[in-house]
Structure 1
Amino acid sequence: MATKRERDEEGAAQEAEEVVKLPRKQFFRMRAHSNPLNDACFPVPLNPDSYDWASHFPELYAAAAAEGRPPPLVDFADVGCGFGGLTVRLAEAYPDKLVLGMEIRDKVTEYVRERVVALRKQHPGKYRNCSAARTNAMKFITNYFKKGQLSKLFFLFADPHFKTSKHRRRIIQRTLLAEYAYLLKPGGLLYTITDVEDLGNWQRDRLEAHPMFERVSDEELEGDAAAQLLLEGTEEGQKVARNSGKTWRHVYRRILGPSEQAAAATQQQQAGGS
């Protein structure tokens, strides 16, 4: 029969073997970018309610079910999340908000999912509010979120698609901005940053021209924790900082459209009359 010391040593050895390690990027490498106009083989939900959100946020969904309340909804979407740097940092900065990274590359998405699982094991009770889904946001983002659901939407260091013939692949487009405005709640913020001046100007010009967005001043962004993470919270941003590179940051607020303004005015009149 083993002595107490032997049992303690055996237990310590087992614990050492069970130390959770983060996944290593070198095993998940693939091409830096993917053509969003090509079809890929991955499942897409018919609508937000048909998606298996519990698989992404099991603890939070189990807690909601146990307490008899509706499950929480995603608040922040990190489009083109890459290796999940911003997704994880947002989960740390906003523990009461659900964050979903969206990535078109399969191996990179798998890395983020494994990274989140490892972080949850290393830090019980934390990182349960973030996850990643493989999808093509340019085509299917409205399949994941409801009207006015999101309060923050991020597009960081997007593929610049330098050639003029490929500009239609850029993630900030006039038609796509209508979808982003649909998903953002009034007052919600759309964040962009890039180290390519031409792309930064492209994104700024299209956001400036869209009637549902207004620019957020740099002074206001000084008190915005998410805005401070745009550079330091991503692997790409950290690389730019190490090389003393320049970035172009543009953040816009989703404003009320004409019909929404009329509805809000009507509600105010009714409230005042009562």
Structure 2
Amino acid sequence: MPISDNSQKSHVGDLPAGRPLQTDFNAEFGNDLDYPRLGTVSFRRGTLTDNQEALWDEYWPKLGTVLSDEKIDVDAWFGRPGAKTIVEIGSGTGTSTAAMAPLEADTNVIAVELYKPGLAKLLGAVVRGDIRNIRMVRGDGVEVLTRMFDEASLDGVRIFFPDPWPKARHHKRRIIQSGVLNLIATRLKPGGVLHVATDHADYAEWIKELVDVEPQLEYMGWPWEECPQLTDRQVITKFEGKGLQKDHTITEFLWRRK
């Protein structure tokens, strides 16, 4: 198991009903930056098929864990000390996650997602494809980064097609905020990469206004030909496919930790 101080501690894949109290990030980090304010949004529940339930019961204890206050021991979880590690926030059903992982077999990929049926689909793809370099965390991505990873412990963070929260009154819920960029910067190693993609025009403009807000991150633009952690997204994700069908422009952003 991936818990750093007790390798025998087990976790189930279920979260408590509703949403636990959100961390007061400004107090936690001693700043006045902006973080997602999720209000009364609750954990989405979903039903697994019988086959998914069976796979979940058998494989989740080894390949998955849930949000907690204990740091993840990445080397122990993957069983290969020193490998590069990338966290994907909001992996959805894991289509692109499972497609990219075999192309970067030397890299540990940790997929973070709230929606259990999405994780169950990814888990099924991992088991059927014998994909050895994917692990999963069920929880809110910002909370997982805050509570489960040490500073300067990651080689990359990916956020592909995050919820754009298009209504103006919901913009405070968007994950790309000054505080989250600061948090990600602290979790990246020097030279580590943040990769964000969106097909929502207004959200792209929102992100463009924030590309230089975090002094620890150097904005590299797109494309960045020599990006050390960039793997082509070989299989179009569900949301990306919908965007392309509607002739949406996909905008991608790359930062490097200084």
Query: TM range, normalised to the smaller chain?
Result: 0.5 to 0.7
Q: In structure 1, what is the Cα distance between the partners aligned to 2:247 and 2:254? A: 22
Question: SS state of the match for residue 220, structure 1?
Answer: coil
Match of 1:93 among 90, 94, 103: 103
Query: Is 1:128 equivalent to 2:151 in the alignment?
Result: no
The alpha-carbon deviation at position 187 of structure 1 amounts to 1.2
Q: Distance in 2 between matches of 1:251 and 1:52?
A: 26
* 1:64-84 CA distance string (max 9 Å, x none): 5xxxxxx45661111101111
Task: Select the structure with the greater relative contact order (CA < 8 A; seq sep ≥ 6).
Answer: 2
Alignment of 1:172-191 (within 5 A): 172-191=176-195
Q: TM-score, normalization: structure 2?
A: 0.68
Residue 244 of structure 2: aligned partner: 241
The counterpart of 1:145, out of the listed 149, 152, 156, is 149
What is the match of residue 22 of structure 1?
none
Higher alpha-carbon Rg: 1
- Summarize deviations over 1:218-270 as a string: whole Å, max 9, x none: 353376672632x8552322333344431111111111xxxxxxxxxxxxxxx
- Report what 1:75 is aligned to: 85
State the SS of the aligned residue for 2:230.
helix
Measured on the aligned residues, the alpha-carbon RMSD in Å equals 2.9
Letter in structure 2 aligned against 1:45: S
The more displaced of 182-191 and 132-141 is 132-141
Q: Which amino acid aligns with 2:107?
A: K
User: 1:72 and 1:144 mapped to 2: Cα distance?
Assistant: 18
1:9-20 matches, cutoff 5 A:
none
- Distance in structure 1 (CA, Å) of the matches to 2:161 and 2:218: 21
Q: Which of 117, 121, 127 in structure 2 is aligned with 1:117?
A: 127
Task: State which of 92, 104, 120 in structure 1 corresponds to 2:114.
Answer: 104
Counterpart amino acid of 2:133? N
Q: Which runs of 5 or more residues in structure 1 are unaligned?
A: 1-34, 65-70, 121-126, 256-274
Tell me how many residue pairs correspond in the alignment: 201
- CA spacing shift, 1:219–1:74, aligned 2, 3 Å: closer
Q: Pick closer, same or farther for the CA change 1:49–1:79 going to 2, 3 Å.
A: closer
CA shift for structure 1 position 206: 1.6
Preserved contact between residue 51 and residue 144 of structure 1 (Cα < 8 Å): no
Secondary structure at the aligned position of 1:221 is classed as coil
The structure richer in helix per residue is 1
For 1:58-112, what per-residue CA distance to the aligned partner results, in whole angstroms no more than 9, with x for missing partners? Answer: xxx2xx5xxxxxx456611111011112322331221111001111111111221
Out of 36, 48, 51, the position equivalent to 2:71 is: 48
User: 1:50: Cα distance to partner?
Assistant: 6.9
Task: Give the letter for the 1:47 counterpart.
Answer: E
* Equivalent AA in structure 2 for residue 48 of structure 1: K
Give the one of 189, 193, 196 matched to 1:192: 196
Unpaired runs of 5+ residues, structure 2, are 1-36, 46-64
Q: Does the Cα contact within 8 Å between 1:36 and 1:136 map onto a contact in 2?
A: no
Moved more, 138-147 or 185-194: 138-147
Match of 2:232 in 1: 228
Moved more, 83-92 or 162-171: 83-92
Could you tell me which residue of structure 2 aligns to residue 84 of structure 1? 94
**Residues in 1 aligned to 2:215 and 2:229: alpha-carbon distance in whole angstroms:** 26
Cα 1:75/1:224, change in 2 over 3 Å = closer
SS of match in other structure, 1:226: coil
Instruction: Check whether the contact 2:95–2:238 (CA below 8 A) recurs between aligned residues.
Output: yes
Identity of aligned residues (%): 24
Provide the secondary structure at the position in 1 that maps to 2:163.
coil
Q: 1:193 to 1:233 in 2, by over 3 A?
A: same
